[in-house]
Amino acid sequence: MEHPISINGFCQINIIVRDIEKAAKKWAELLGIEVPQIRINHLEGNENYTYRGQPVSCDLKVCDIPMNGFVIELHQPIGGPSSFQEFLDKHGEGVHHLGFEVGDMRDRIIDEMAKDGYNVNRTLGIYPGSSWTIVDSESELGVNLNIKPIR
């Protein structure tokens, strides 16, 4: 790639689970930490959230487990079409994506990945202060990518 993703930008491992309360408790026991707070995220289907090019609405239970320099993010889809529900239906529980912060290189990296044949229109989310794009890279890399300008 002309604009490769820097290994220094690695920021996230996202894991899809069927029961986030159980998974959060097990992770907390394993790591010797308090059970992380679980919240519900509503992604409203408009220009700020699209899935496979279409605005759709979905809900997720989410929790973050801070690690040294990155986050383990647990997601449990609880309603509506999404990349996360698609993954759960297709694969069951597992690693959905790896997240990378790429700063102002984001658009160039996304454009280059699109030219290389990756589906970069799978999911787009925009929220105050940042955004994210899930790149459908399972068949090439074994996992999806989350390309973000900043965390």
CATH code, 49: 3.10.180.10
- How many domains in the chain? 1
Asked if residue 2 is part of any domain, the answer here is no
Check pLDDT > 80 for residue 10: yes
- Compute the average pLDDT of residues 97-125: 89
Asked if residue 83 is part of any domain, the answer here is yes
Asked if residue 3 is part of any domain, the answer here is no
For the whole model, what pTM was predicted? 0.92
Check pLDDT > 70 for residue 69: yes
Neighbours of 88 (CB within 10 A): 19
Asked if residue 23 is part of any domain, the answer here is yes
Give SS3 for 74: strand
* Calpha distance 114→10 (Å, rounded): 20
Q: Which structural domain range is residue 18 located in?
A: 8-148
Mean pLDDT for the chain overall: 91
> What are the backbone angles phi and psi of residue 102, rounded to the nearest 5°?
-125, 5
* Calpha distance 28→140 (Å, rounded): 32
Residue 125 structure tokens: 């989310």
Asked if residue 1 is part of any domain, the answer here is no
Check pLDDT > 70 for residue 76: yes
